[in-house]
Amino acid sequence: MCGRYASARKKHDLLEEFEVELDGAPDQELGPDYNVAPTKEVYAVMSRVPRVEGEKTSGRPVRQLRVVRWGLVPSWAKDPSIGSRMINARIETVGEKPAFRKAFASRRCLLPADGYFEWMPTEDKKKQPYFIHPADGGVLAMAGLYEFWKDPGRADDDPLKWLCTCTVITTSAEDELGRIHDRMPMMVERDRWAEWLDPRLADPAKLLVPASPDRLEAYPVSTDVNNVRNNGPALVQPAEPIGKESGNDDDAGALF
């Protein structure tokens, strides 16, 4: 699963990196977050067909950067608390599960990250956190879905009437990454961003081809990341491992 990640890039940098159109930038700017956890607000890149007085136009989709909440709330949910259990969608079933099926069809997004965290058991039964990120320092574009939920208890003109939420699509982890955890976020390569975001695509299932994980690297970090109240750039700095990997005779941390 993907349950924690880092996202410290400024809004301006993301607007440029993802080629967001001028009218697709949010008013809100999120601060750097080195310990993004479920239910937090995060950035999501999406393509939306403009609406006029609530109705979709026939125009082309506009690439946007939005602030959404992590933990997808299906449109049919009775209340938004279900979102805390919908932080990940498995690639194997994302097109079938009722909670994700409609969003997968036309509400796909990219969730920008600097990297993500996973935990590996050690011989003494503790868990060593690792930070996994692009080796070249570039942005990690995680495949995601987004959904809108309408709060029936609020007036139509209430700005909080609509809640926009997201989930991270996960796939099986291979090679060295699989030693840390058997799942990882599905990455989308830059040359497939436009197609992934296009809500008009007739057959999105063809896009479920994970990017190669060989451009990622991992290293052990401080257990301070275990506490969601801790934050700051120190959380993504390499640290001495707390013990040997379970079932591994080599020095812990010698992954790459």
Helix or strand run (H / E) with residue 196: helix 193-197
Choice among 109, 118, 164, 166 that is catalytic: 118
109 is catalytic: no
The phi, psi pair for 128, rounded to 5°, reads -90, 120
Choice among 2, 109, 164, 166 that is catalytic: 2
Instruction: Compute the distance between CA of residue 151 and CA of residue 2 in angstroms, rounded to an integer.
Output: 27
189 is catalytic: no
| Tokens read off for 5 | 């990640």
Strand 41-48, strand 51-52: pairing: unpaired
Instruction: Compute the distance between CA of residue 35 and CA of residue 144 in angstroms, rounded to an integer.
Output: 18
What number of CA atoms fall less than 13 Å from residue 212's CA on the CB side? 3
**3-state DSSP call for residue 204?**
helix
C-alpha to C-alpha distances, 96 to 65, 104, 172, 202, nearest whole angstrom: 27, 9, 18, 16
Phi-psi region of 112 (alpha: psi -120 to 50; beta: other; left: phi over 0): beta
Active site residues: 2, 118
